[in-house]
Every structure is written in structure tokens, then in C-alpha cells.
Amino acid sequence: MFFGAKAELFSLALQMRKNPTEAERVMWKILRKFRQSGFPFRRQHPIEFYIADFYCHNLRLVIEVDGEIHTEKEIQSHDEGRAGELERFGIKVLRFTNNQILHDSDLVVEKINATIKELNTTS
């Protein structure tokens, strides 16, 4: 379930869950609504060497919340490599900016619903 994540990562993930950003708090409220449909998400979930912002094991779906730093080329390159690593496990990565989450939550929910429909029909 955790794809070989080390114990230290679980401790770090716990600390991160205790201090979410505003966008992460909003995203968590959005994602909790999917639990009743059979798609529970976990916050700050360790996967191998990474901590996914949100993860649904039933769908093998990671949702990442990207702050301002993710506009930098070096960080984008790292994000692409990370997504590639997660895809090795059959995990799809969906990314949203803080701005999208905080100011266009309808679009965020629409994209999540479309992704869930796509992944649920292919599994």
C-alpha cells in the first residue's frame, strides 16, 4: 500500500498533515465528499520516496497541490520526474495550483470527477 516508504517518511507526513496550507485545507474539504462514493483520499500519504499531497488507493490517484514555487523550471522538472516514478506503480498524478483550488473550485471538482470516471471505467 505504501510502495516501500520508509518509517521516517511517515513521521514527516504526520507533521505535514498537522500544518496544511490554505489550499490543502480547501482541497481536503473537496476530497472528503468523494469518500461516500467509495473513493476515500488520504492526506500527506507516503509512497516510496515521496509524500503525495492526497492519495486514493482505490483509484491509484495522487492529487498534488502546487504552490507558487512550482512555477520554477527546476521544480517543474522535479515534479515531472516524480510523476514518472509514481506512474511506475500505475498511479496517475493530477495537479492543481493553489489559485485553481482557492478561486475556481468548481473546475477542480469537475476535473477530479472526470478523472475518477476515467480511472473507474478502466480498472
**What is the reported pLDDT for 12?**
74
Average of pLDDT values for 85-110? Answer: 93
pTM for the model stands at 0.85
Separation of CA 98 from chain center = 13
The answer to whether residue 108 scores a pLDDT higher than 90 is: yes
How many Å apart are CA 28 and CA 34, to the nearest integer? 10
**What is the reported pLDDT for 67?**
72
Confidence of residue 1 (pLDDT cuts 50, 70, 90): very low
Which ranges constitute the DSSP H helices of 1-104? Answer: 7-18, 22-32, 73-87, 98-103
pLDDT digits (tens, 9 = 90+) for 37-83: 999 999 999 888 888 999 999 999 999 998 766 566 776 666 676 78
Map out the domains of the chain with their CATH numbers.
7-122 (3.40.960.10)
Whole-number mean pLDDT of the chain? 86
Look at strands 92-97 and 61-66 and give their pairing.
Answer: parallel
**What is the reported pLDDT for 68?**
66
**What is the reported pLDDT for 62?**
95
How many Å apart are CA 87 and CA 81, to the nearest integer? 10
